[in-house]
Amino acid sequence: MKAIVKSKPERGLWMENVPLPSVGPNDVLIRVKKAAICGTDLHIYKWDEWARNTIKTPVIIGHEYMGEVVETGSEVDRVHVGERVTVEGHISCGFCRNCRRGRQHICDNTIGIGVNRDGGFAEYISVPAKNVLKVDARIPDEIMAIMDPLGNATHTALSFPLLGEDVLITGIGGPIGAMAAAVCRFAGARNIVGTDISKYRRDLARKMGATKVIDPMNDNIRSAMGRLGMVAGFDIGLECSGSPIAFNDMVENMYNGGKISLLGLLPSDTKINWSKLIFKGLTLKGIYGREMYETWYHMEMMLTTGLDISPVITHRMHADDFQQAFDIMEQGKCGKIILDWE
């Protein structure tokens, strides 16, 4: 089969012919139809410090995809050939303390599909049946392919009550930040203010439901609050940028008792204004992946009752043109890019 492989420890990816994956007794073989490129895939492509410390080559990348079941293992009884499915990208052990108390998303022994083992940028992928999800037929294939990152956005946004609240999203123009804005709007937030340095992505965030999006290089959050008639700080903060400056700007503009979801990966040398955090009584929650499997339930219910995230998909191309897709990703002028494997 054809697959996009990180075959060498250097910049780049390569389309190669590789053996079909084996199917164990508890596994499912999926023929991939649609896949989407993630920021993680771009890190692997660029072979940055994180990738060099994490990835063991060769490996097939990709963890956002959907397809059709074509084979099931001898012990599989809840997934059937011909079903349309997507996959939770984190394989949990099922036995550690966190797994056994219903917190599989922070399993002690998580294995990441497309990172620690072969992923979905291929014509076929074999995955544990327990990670396979069937969703409502009303959800289109390409939306189904991006439910993994939508899950990050949903986990980030719904970690704290949103009804009537004022929300600040830093890095709102990235696909997860933009989808988080859509979820906040759907869940009843009042004002959704975002910051992003990219004009292209600021425009995308507006399409996704943000009330106001500003360029932090030429505007400031306090002024935006005034233009919206806000008299106090933000109730909820969603940090999606990974920028120390943006994070501290968020802390500065939070209302006392506010709550912040931290999705962006801040550098290890980030300096934080701890006195603001303490005296404002702020709550910080680290966000990793999706809460398995409550976040998936929330996504499906929202997508079938009016949540529209389709504007976040800005490019569609065949998998053979993956190099063009990664060039566009590197330029940053895109939302989600769908790769067609059919």
Domain extent at residue 116: 2-146+309-340
Instruction: Point out the annotated binding site for Zn(2+).
Output: 38, 63-64, 93, 96, 99, 107
* Residue tagged 């006195």 (tokens): 275
Alpha carbons 211 and 324: distance in angstroms, whole number = 33
Angle separating helix axes 39-46 and 322-331, nearest 10 degrees: 100
Known binding-site residues for NAD(+) equal 176, 196, 201, 263-265, 287-288
Residues 138-181 pLDDT 10s: 999 999 999 999 999 999 999 999 999 999 999 998 999 999 99
- Give Cα separations from 258 to 126, 160, 184, 253 (angstroms): 43, 10, 16, 10
Cα separation, 113 vs 65, in Å, equals 11
Nearest in space to 263 (alpha carbons), one of 149, 112, 162? 149
- Tell me: do 247 and 130 sit in the same domain: no
Q: What count of Cα atoms within 13 Å lies in the side-chain half-sphere of residue 109? A: 8
Question: 3-class SS at 70?
Answer: strand
54 in the same domain as 75: yes
Residues 94 and 134 in one domain: yes
Separation between Cα atoms, residue 111 and residue 130, nearest integer Å? 14
Are both 158 and 134 inside the same structural domain? Answer: no
- Same domain for 59 and 123? yes
Residues 129 and 162 both lie in one domain: no
Binding site: residue ranges? 38, 63-64, 93, 96, 99, 107, 176, 196, 201, 263-265, 287-288
Tens digit of each residue's pLDDT (9 = 90 or more) over 233-277? 999 999 999 999 999 999 999 999 999 999 998 988 999 999 999
User: Is residue 295 in a domain?
Assistant: no
* Cα–Cα distance for residue pair 207/214, rounded to 1 Å: 14
Amino acid letter, 268 = S
Tell me the percentage of the chain whose pLDDT exceeds 70. Answer: 100
The answer, yes or no, to whether the previous bond of 293 is cis (omega within 30 of 0) is yes
* 119 and 43 in a common domain: yes
213/237 same-domain check: yes
Based on DSSP, count helices (H) and strands (E) in the chain, helices before strands. 12, 18
Provide the domain count of the chain: 2
CA terminus-to-terminus distance, the chain: 12
* 96 and 230, same domain (yes or no): no
Q: Determine how β-strand 124-128 pairs with β-strand 212-214.
A: unpaired
Q: Which entry of 43, 54, 283, 314 is annotated as an active-site residue?
A: 43
CATH code for the domain of 205: 3.40.50.720
- 298 as an active site residue: the answer is no
101 and 136 share a domain? Answer: yes
Rounded to two decimals, what is the model's pTM?
Answer: 0.94
What band does 332 get if pLDDT is binned at 50, 70 and 90?
Answer: confident
pLDDT at 91: 97
Instruction: Specify the CATH number for the domain of residue 41.
Output: 3.90.180.10
User: Which tens digit of pLDDT belongs to each residue from 266-320?
Assistant: 988 999 999 999 999 999 999 999 999 999 999 999 999 999 999 999 999 999 9
136 and 253 fall within a common domain? no
| Contact between residue 239 and residue 249 where contact means Cβ atoms under 8 Å apart | no
What is the β-pairing status of strands 313-318 and 336-340?
Answer: parallel
Contact 189, 216 (CB under 8 A): no
